Structure 1
Amino acid sequence: MPDFPPAAHRGVRAAGVPQNGAEIAQAVLVVVAVLYFARDLLVPLALAVLLSFVLAPVARALRRIGIPRAAGVLAAVMAGVSVIGTLGLVMGRQLAELAGDIPLYQAELMRKLATLRASGGIMDRVRDMLRGLADGAERAERAAAAPEPAQVLAADRVVPLPVQVQQPDPAPFAVLQGVLEPLLYPLATFGIVVVLVIFILLYREDLRDRVIRLVGAEDLHRTMAAMDDAAYRLSRYFLAQTAMNAAYGVFITAALFFIGVPQPMLWGIVAGLMRFVPFVGTFIAAGFPLLLALAVDPGWGIPLMVLVLFAVSEGLMGQVFEPLVFGRSTGLSPVAVIAAATFWTWLWGPIGLIVSMPLTVCLVVLGRHVERFEFLEVALGDRPPLDPPATFYQRALAGDADALAEQAEGVMREKRLSAYYDTVALPALALAQADALRGSFATERLAALRARLATLVEDLEEEAEDDRAPGPGLAEMEDNPPPPDPPPPPGVLVPPGAVLCLAGRGAFDEALAAMLAQVLRKRGFGAVAAPADLLRGGDLAGFEPETVRQAWFCTVQGGASVAASRYLLRRLRRRFPQAQVATLVVGAEGRLPEALRAEGAVAVEGGLGEAARAAQRLAPQAAASTTPAMG
């Protein structure tokens, strides 16, 4: 049954954020200020949290094989420190070798740049022209500021004395200070991170309980289970991502070694680290070896191979291996990824760029499991911010026909046409009807919205409404999906006009009647839709009363009063006396369905799928009442 929004709450519920705009602005400013001015404290803390997520699965694995908890934590941390220290030493050695070879590479780069300038043509002439203009302006300025001849003679009498400043040889302590001072802050930060990681892994349950106490929880059991599940999933994700990036770095190192790029281990490590940086990380990782390839190769073969290497490897990582390992995306929207990378880089510099993706993933998981921080998932996550009916309604209001069609195609990959209408379109009609009752629509806007709905129904006319097994999405909604519906009796409900879907007087009843008629046609009925004006006066507009076997009265709750609906139903019965009369009421919450049942009609409240099944049940009765002329 479609999930229609209740009458008192048909809008879109706001995420869990403060409602006061001034409070939101103050909170954002305070958070940003704290992150910026306390970065010396928060950067080690953030690195420790992320590193603890990576090492937590290792510590759990060591504990499962019988190693005590403290020993397992220390072993996991020491292993991580050894790996990081080894990478740092390798990078330092490779950078020292690169610095010594830079003069050798500079000549080849200058030669290639000279070759490009020689083939530039018009660009060189434009540059020379601009340089000539600048030199001419400078000469004119010097001529205007030239001193008088008398001043020149006086100035000639002054002979400047050469001055040379010599610094004394530095003391050994000063040399040692100059070497160690740049390393002091990174080493201190690294030591703080190691200590924090050890304590986080040792006391992670206690930290979890304190977070729960600070945030609050109405259901302690579910909150603890959610946080444990989130921490477990994050640990597995970050460990898998670290392993994938490490494998990527090893592959890049080997490939650059065989291509002939100097210092391949350095660029492999950089490539692995840059895999944590979204979008721009690949360009940064490819830029350095590409520049070095230009410097070592007299031709263009090695640079082209480097470009092909990074293009192919990045495509395979992003489109093949990561979906295969992770099963799905990181849970971040593309806009949020770019915004997060920019924000954290502005706050914390290069470290912020590297940790931007993991930190943002943690924030999204926090918003997904803690109701108070739900706004984080809404702002940063890749889940649709609106539910499908609200998205349908918003697209229809905006007149975005392409987005409506795209949504319909996406839903119908797994569901029938009737299931799409029941779960998306009909709840959206209930939202639109609620707005119409409040007088939210101008006449022109209402007419445009109804026209878009009619166009959508026409566009879906070619879609199949077969009896295939429901897809995964439908199986999740219906644990026991109904069996395939039998076809209607041959020759009774198949001719066009045998089933009449009559719209009520509501603003969106014609769209509902058109959807029902379309679904019934897909299932073998000769169904046609008709407006409520059909019952006004004596002209039946081409409909022959004796040919109508079933007459369906379609209305959206709130479109007309109970009295008006009962009146239309009675006129429908008088105009088509031989037809089986049924009603379809969408968003029913009041006494309208009961009132229509009191008139002797079969009242359906569930949706188009249930209405189609009701039509199948009424078909034998229609066959029994068929006249000889119809046979």
Structure 2
Amino acid sequence: MKTEPAALAAGVADEQDSRAEARANLRLMRSLLIGIFILAVTAAFYFGRAFFMPVILAFLLALTLTPIVRFLRKSGIPEVVSATMLVLFSIFAFASAGYLLSGPVIDLINNTSSIGQQLTERLAQFKRPLARMMDLAHQLEALTETSQEPGVQRVAVAPSGILSTAASNILDAGTSITIVFVLSLFLLASGTLFYEKIIQSFASLSQKKRALRVVYDVEREISHYLLTVAVINAGLGAVIGLGLWGLGMPNPLVWGAAAALLNFLPYVGALITILLVAVIALISFDSISYALLAPAFVILCDIVEGQFVTPMVVGRRLEINAVAIFIAIAFWSWLWGFVGALMAVPLLVVIKVFCDHFEGLSHVGNFLAAQHVTVVEEEANEQDSKAAA
């Protein structure tokens, strides 16, 4: 009789162990499936970039213009009319910027060799400590060239099909741009149809309400962020362009547009703009001290924008961890090149806002948040946004 409780306890322990092992195996299987899914999505994005890149750009453009469409709808203008006006204005702005910037940019590209030579001559006084290293490099190169077998000739294969490749690239770019604007027009003109289709996929009324709340919260926060950041970057580019024009920099419109565009790449974009402006200023002005005023002005504008304007207007809640930003820029630039790098931070904000609205993904949103943003602050801000809604 005394062995029955012990046997019963042993059976319960074995059952608990088997359940724990089953749960561990289930978690492992889930992790493996998530990893396989991520790899599959990455491969699909890489090989299907001709399709996915313009589609995602269209969604980001539609989210950016959505607050304006809603404001005009409250004023009595239908979504179709406002969406058409905004898309046509975007096309006009894009075409005008391309036309105005094409000439100076092509001149800069054609004069790259002369710019490099002028910069080398200008910095010759700073190059003396490195003269020995340069001589050593030239000697090693000479030894490498003379070490080749006599009679062996170098064969240079000239690139073929340059015109056909350029025509193909132009055609692909034109197709992608057309998809972006046409799809964004349909997304903006559809109004709430897209949200209604999402809600109809749920059965119960509580699930419909929760899905509607999440969809509207995510859309509102992302659209507000994208539109605000786009306006801030445009203002930053205008200020930098006017300031460089006042300093006498050549092609100030190009550097203002470059600053506005590259500012979608936090840290990296500002550094690239500063280096480009510094190089052109050094070869454009006689005095080195005066030439340094141009990059110093760009640094001042970037500090004011990054430390005061953007945090005050956008808020701290949507700030992203710097490590996550660099990883995202590196990943998307490898995936889709320069366009992917520009889309990296907006997509990261989309992922963060989406994760903040689901308890199972809150740890991902917390990881993506900046270090000084705590979970308590995020929950408080989320409750305030729900109360305001």
Short-chain TM bin: 0.7 to 0.9
Q: Secondary structure at the match of 1:219?
A: helix
- In structure 1, the residue matched to 2:71 is 61
Following superposition of structure 1 onto structure 2, how do residues 440-451 of structure 1 map, counting pairs within 5 Å? none
Name the amino acid aligned to 1:194.
Answer: F
Q: Distance in 2 between matches of 1:242 and 1:42?
A: 22
Segment drifting more, 105-114 vs 189-198: 105-114
356, 362, 368: which one aligns with 1:380: 368
> Number of aligned pairs?
344
386 and 60 in structure 1: CA distance in 2 versus 1, 3 angstrom threshold: closer
99 and 279 in structure 1: CA distance in 2 versus 1, 3 angstrom threshold: closer
Q: Distance in 2 between matches of 1:133 and 1:66?
A: 74
113 and 216 in structure 1: CA distance in 2 versus 1, 3 angstrom threshold: farther
The answer as to whether partners of 2:58 and 2:180 remain within 8 angstroms in 1 is yes
Following superposition of structure 1 onto structure 2, how do residues 380-459 of structure 1 map, counting pairs within 5 Å? 380-382=368-370
Q: Distance in 2 between matches of 1:214 and 1:335?
A: 37
- In structure 2, the residue matched to 1:433 is none
Deviation string, structure 1 residues 42-72 (Cα, Å, up to 9, x no partner)? 1111111111111111212222222222111
The answer as to whether partners of 1:341 and 1:357 remain within 8 angstroms in 2 is yes
The answer as to whether partners of 1:45 and 1:196 remain within 8 angstroms in 2 is yes
- In structure 2, the residue matched to 1:124 is 131
176, 188, 192: which one aligns with 1:205: 192
The answer as to whether partners of 1:109 and 1:294 remain within 8 angstroms in 2 is yes
Per-residue deviation at 1:233? 2.1
Per-residue deviation at 1:131? 3.7
Q: Distance in 1 between matches of 2:116 and 2:375?
A: 58
129 and 33 in structure 1: CA distance in 2 versus 1, 3 angstrom threshold: closer
Q: Secondary structure at the match of 2:192?
A: helix
21 and 386 in structure 1: CA distance in 2 versus 1, 3 angstrom threshold: farther
- In structure 2, the residue matched to 1:326 is 314
Q: Distance in 2 between matches of 1:372 and 1:235?
A: 24
Name the amino acid aligned to 2:225.
Answer: Y
- In structure 1, the residue matched to 2:101 is 91
Q: Are 1:40 and 2:50 an aligned pair?
A: yes
236, 240, 243: which one aligns with 1:252: 240
Q: Distance in 2 between matches of 1:381 and 1:283?
A: 23
203 and 275 in structure 1: CA distance in 2 versus 1, 3 angstrom threshold: same
Segment drifting more, 218-227 vs 235-244: 218-227
Q: Distance in 2 between matches of 1:31 and 1:385?
A: 30
Q: Distance in 2 between matches of 1:69 and 1:146?
A: 75
Q: Distance in 2 between matches of 1:383 and 1:19?
A: 32
Name the amino acid aligned to 1:32.
Answer: T
Following superposition of structure 1 onto structure 2, how do residues 511-522 of structure 1 map, counting pairs within 5 Å? none
Q: Distance in 2 between matches of 1:111 and 1:384?
A: 46
Unmatched runs of 5 consecutive residues or more in structure 2:
1-26, 152-161, 385-389
Name the amino acid aligned to 2:297.
Answer: L
- In structure 2, the residue matched to 1:189 is 176
Deviation string, structure 1 residues 225-245 (Cα, Å, up to 9, x no partner)? 222122122212211111110
Following superposition of structure 1 onto structure 2, how do residues 209-228 of structure 1 map, counting pairs within 5 Å? 209-212=196-199, 219-228=207-216
The answer as to whether partners of 1:108 and 1:296 remain within 8 angstroms in 2 is no
Q: Distance in 1 between matches of 2:346 and 2:38?
A: 21
The answer as to whether partners of 2:237 and 2:258 remain within 8 angstroms in 1 is yes
Name the amino acid aligned to 1:64.
Answer: K
The answer as to whether partners of 2:79 and 2:190 remain within 8 angstroms in 1 is no
The answer as to whether partners of 1:331 and 1:383 remain within 8 angstroms in 2 is no
Q: Distance in 1 between matches of 2:371 and 2:214?
A: 18
TM-score of the superposed pair, with normalisation by structure 1:
0.50
76, 86, 92: which one aligns with 1:76: 86
233 and 106 in structure 1: CA distance in 2 versus 1, 3 angstrom threshold: closer
- Higher relative contact order by CA 8 Å / sep ≥ 6: 1 or 2? 2
Name the amino acid aligned to 2:131.
Answer: D
Deviation string, structure 1 residues 350-393 (Cα, Å, up to 9, x no partner)? 001101111111111111224565454244234899978xxxxx
The answer as to whether partners of 1:290 and 1:306 remain within 8 angstroms in 2 is yes
TM-score of the superposed pair, with normalisation by structure 2:
0.78
Identity %: 25
232 and 126 in structure 1: CA distance in 2 versus 1, 3 angstrom threshold: closer
Q: Are 1:271 and 2:259 an aligned pair?
A: yes
The answer as to whether partners of 1:245 and 1:272 remain within 8 angstroms in 2 is yes
Q: Are 1:28 and 2:38 an aligned pair?
A: yes
